[in-house]
Amino acid sequence: MLDARYPSIIYQATEAMAAMRAPARGRVNVLDRGGCVEVSAYWQHWPCLFPQHGPGRKHARPILLEPWQARIAAAHPQMLLRGLIHSDGCRATNRVWRGKYSYPRYFFTNRSGDILEVFRRACDVLGISYRNSKPDTISIAKRKDVAALDSFIGPKT
């Protein structure tokens, strides 16, 4: 399910799914669910691409990248971070001293420690400083690091 407020993300997800399946193998379905949009495509090979998918909650089972996935993540850390922020993160303005000072920052929140570690590794590859502001939340607030993320993440639209 994707938030209907972000049609660009919905479009990109639809295009990515269609590209993986190739035109001869069926279409990608997009269904309005009242504030959310369900993007789906039936294909017997999805588990090959996402072997981490399985029964139960993702934070209660291991989410480890296969070696081939880790190579792709290492080769494209910017795209990985962009997808993670667009799915489970945000860019917000932090206001301090009763609103007299404000600065932008990114947050990434996930209950899966394994997924948080994937996020941290991508940041490490790019030299982006982060801190754990809560057990399930990573914060990026240094000006140069926010600017680096801004250069390739772009707004959620």
Listed by start position, the domains of the chain span: 1-49, 54-157
Closest CA to 10 of 42, 25, 32: 32
* Mean pLDDT, rounded, of the chain: 91
What CATH number has the domain spanning 54-157? 3.10.28.10
Per-residue pLDDT tens over the stretch 17-36: 888 876 656 789 999 999 99
Token pair 């669910």: residue = 33
Low-confidence winner among 18-27, 43-52, 56-65, 106-115 (lowest mean pLDDT): 18-27
Name the DSSP class of 52. Answer: T
- 46 burial level (CB within 10 Å; 0-12, 13-18, 19+): middle
- Which residues are paired to 28 by β-bridges? none
Per-residue pLDDT tens over the stretch 86-95: 999 999 998 8
